[in-house]
Structure 1
């Protein structure tokens, strides 16, 4: 047997080694006759390749010009959110319940003489005004309530808790709301012999809590605001034995914006907001129906006055107006509001305003009256005798030109007999009265507080106007030219 190493079948075969040069030479020799410029196939192949390359480039350019499709809901939602909260975002402090909820729970004890539970019920709107049936359209009747004039604290608190721009993280807030029911808490202490300490107790406790919060310390209160549901003078006691609380004069309140139903025109931090009326629409259609109703209402009296004389006041101007009204015969209607007859509105008051072209608005115990807003909501044109009754109070809510919606009569001329109210009002033509009434009707949405969690879709009510105003002033305060004291 032959050794394995030399067995013919197992003997190693010689390898053929192909170098790069050998391969290239072989391919060239193979393809040269096929791709020769003289060969027609060469031109056909190059032409096809060129067309394919050209089409590919054009297709890429065309596809890049088509925008990448995005879900329409996503785009709409993001732009809508930006639009809705472009003015600012609000953080609502979670105050201890003793400053708001417990005050409401003790509604039986908020007045020295009677319970306030009915008037503060229904989230502050009060009982349904069923007695207005037959006076106003049936479709709008559910939007009317017997609303107390001192409930803005409840209304603002409830709306801010549901505000579309409310944030739970204070770091992202533009404004900080303090939900302290200052007006309700001090109401019971305004009469009888309560001490200064008792009248200030709730305010002092609240300020100790708020001033300890990091975001109050950061701004020293400049981006904080509060609703105080009474007139400013109820919180401006300068000495212990005087009227009211000294809450506004406390150091912690110095830089806090205050929304009040009557402001001090010379205090930057006071902002006047409309008194609550009885009309709280549930939708934009409620407002439109009401506007059309008051626009087409037949009015049989030239002017009216709802109020009572102030006989304890020297030279009581209300008494003068009542006397002129009686002397005017059927041209004037009066409503006797002696005592508390008109405190939360009555069907007689609304009917009187609805039937009159003009309504007289002298000052009350202070310069403003809820009657101003009851009158305007009814489409009646207000007649003022003090500029501080409206023109220096509610700039965010009323037309800039006073003569477009109201009449001003010099009270001194009325007092000394130089003019009579009737003679002044009779000089307005029907067209002038119509134009003034139309301006009043146009502004009704800005004077009322809606009965909804999120406001009126597509329409701003008094709450919306107030919050937008707060956001705007806080942004203005951040401008370099705005001077802030420490």
Structure 2
């Protein structure tokens, strides 16, 4: 209990003449500092209590995130039970997924997306790989589009051994909304408005708001795969790029898997871009690992990419210039004006298979699919921005960046540092260790063909789901 003050109540001070008002308050504070301090502390506590009580339950954050490093780090390990919990997959109205994929002719203003979305998101079989891949592995290669992860994850989730049809027994709830298709459809024409880009996203959250499992947690045990980079869903103003899905109130607790995450948002989880290799069995993986491990590589380093002429001092142009000056050590495929996003094309795959190192500057955003095309081919990535990989794919990449990659600051390269000199100075033993590490991790970079996954090995999907389930399990414990 506060002591009874031995001076008039504070409100009486404010009834004095204005001439003496401030001076009188000041004199009382000086004369009774402890009493004033107690009054201030009590007032702040009361104010804090009122603020907390006024918050709606749905806005209280319940997230406690464990370390992003998976408990099981070897890709060959596989669980036979669902110790981390089970997943309930929402059966959404078709307008949120199936209808979007069926209307594939209308998803792009330039051409049809139907081939890209075919074969459960793998695309059409990759042509022209004879001599580059072992003959019996040729059927495991597809012309996979980099933005089809929503379809791939949905199909895998439906057949997963830890799926449950009983929401009361679920640890996690998967929302199979094809947000990338829903937003991407409206990105490329000025005829569409911000409202067009957000329409289906808003409808989806309204639908979820009616589900009992959503009401119980306000989304904190829900997750989605969003098939584009995070920035495509982070529009802050109507005139800006993309949709505003991730800024909608209903998404504030939802975990989302993305091919590029916002490093400062713990709810964003970076997962590998889809690539062209979709192994059918564990033996497919083993054979491909042996193939890239024993490949004779004739080129020190390579670069596949186009210049960005609209940018001043375009860094990609600097890389192409260095490669051109070092023709006996570097090969380049200049993708200006051509489509190089499909790394399973014979030209790009051969480039990576023949090179010890592959240069990986930032793409249109900080990441690019080429990172994974390069590593699947057994080539060592060279990064120039730390955000390109090190702050992105913590569940899927080795913990130590130097164990599998080389970092050269872009400013040093712009100021004349020779990439060739840096790479030649690494030494054969270190290069071999990096290659071995990349080959070891190949299973975590690929999405397997069987909807049930691989019997004895975890692929990129398995690693992602395991990480989500562990995260939710940890949240429940705390």
Q: TM-score range by the shorter chain?
A: 0.7 to 0.9
Which residue pairs with 2:109 in the alignment?
112
SS at match of 2:347: helix
Which residue pairs with 1:427 in the alignment?
425
Residue 438 and residue 82 in structure 1: after superposition, are their counterparts in 2 closer, same or farther (change >3 A)? closer
Which residue pairs with 1:251 in the alignment?
249
Which residue pairs with 2:148 in the alignment?
151
**Residue 304 of structure 1, aligned match among 302, 317, 329:** 302
TM-score by length of 1: 0.81
Q: What does 1:316-395 align with in structure 2 at a 5 Å threshold? A: 316-345=314-343, 346-395=345-394
Report the Cα distance in structure 1 between the residues aligned to 2:476 and 2:164, rounded to whole angstroms: 20
Deviations 1:316-369 (A, max 9, x none): 111101000111112001012123421323210000000000000000110000
**Residue 179 of structure 2, aligned match among 178, 182, 185:** 182
**Residue 119 of structure 2, aligned match among 115, 118, 122:** 122
SS at match of 2:119: coil
Which residue pairs with 1:410 in the alignment?
409
Pair 1:203 & 2:201 matched:
yes
Pair 1:99 & 2:96 matched:
yes
Report the Cα distance in structure 2 between the residues aligned to 1:234 and 1:341, rounded to whole angstroms: 21
SS at match of 1:360: strand
Deviations 1:186-228 (A, max 9, x none): 1121122110110001101111001111111101100000000
**Residue 285 of structure 2, aligned match among 284, 287, 299:** 287
Report the Cα distance in structure 2 between the residues aligned to 1:337 and 1:461, rounded to whole angstroms: 30
| Structure 1 residue 315: Cα displacement | 1.5
Report the Cα distance in structure 1 between the residues aligned to 2:290 and 2:427, rounded to whole angstroms: 22
| Structure 1 residue 291: Cα displacement | 0.2
TM-score by length of 2: 0.82
**Residue 269 of structure 1, aligned match among 267, 279, 287:** 267
SS at match of 1:131: coil
Deviations 1:21-62 (A, max 9, x none): xxxxxxxxxxxxxxxxxxxxxxxxxxxxxxxxxxxxxxxxxx
Residue 134 and residue 385 in structure 1: after superposition, are their counterparts in 2 closer, same or farther (change >3 A)? same
Contact persistence 2:272–2:393 (CA under 8 A): yes
Report the Cα distance in structure 1 between the residues aligned to 2:119 and 2:432, rounded to whole angstroms: 36
Residue 155 and residue 91 in structure 1: after superposition, are their counterparts in 2 closer, same or farther (change >3 A)? same
- Larger RCO of the pair (alpha carbons < 8 Å, separation 6+): 2
| Structure 1 residue 82: Cα displacement | 9.1
Deviations 1:85-144 (A, max 9, x none): 111100000000011110011000000110010111011000101311121110110000
Which residue pairs with 2:86 in the alignment?
89
Contact persistence 2:341–2:370 (CA under 8 A): no
Which residue pairs with 1:221 in the alignment?
219
| Structure 1 residue 478: Cα displacement | 2.0
Report the Cα distance in structure 1 between the residues aligned to 2:285 and 2:467, rounded to whole angstroms: 22
| Structure 1 residue 83: Cα displacement | 4.5
| Structure 1 residue 430: Cα displacement | 1.7
Report the Cα distance in structure 2 between the residues aligned to 1:231 and 1:130, rounded to whole angstroms: 28
Which residue pairs with 1:440 in the alignment?
438
SS at match of 1:128: coil
Report the Cα distance in structure 2 between the residues aligned to 1:100 and 1:442, rounded to whole angstroms: 35
Report the Cα distance in structure 2 between the residues aligned to 1:424 and 1:148, rounded to whole angstroms: 33
For the pair shown, which has the larger CA radius of gyration, 1 or 2? 1
| Structure 1 residue 175: Cα displacement | 0.3
SS at match of 1:395: coil
Deviations 1:361-418 (A, max 9, x none): 000110000000000000000000000000000000000000000000011111111x
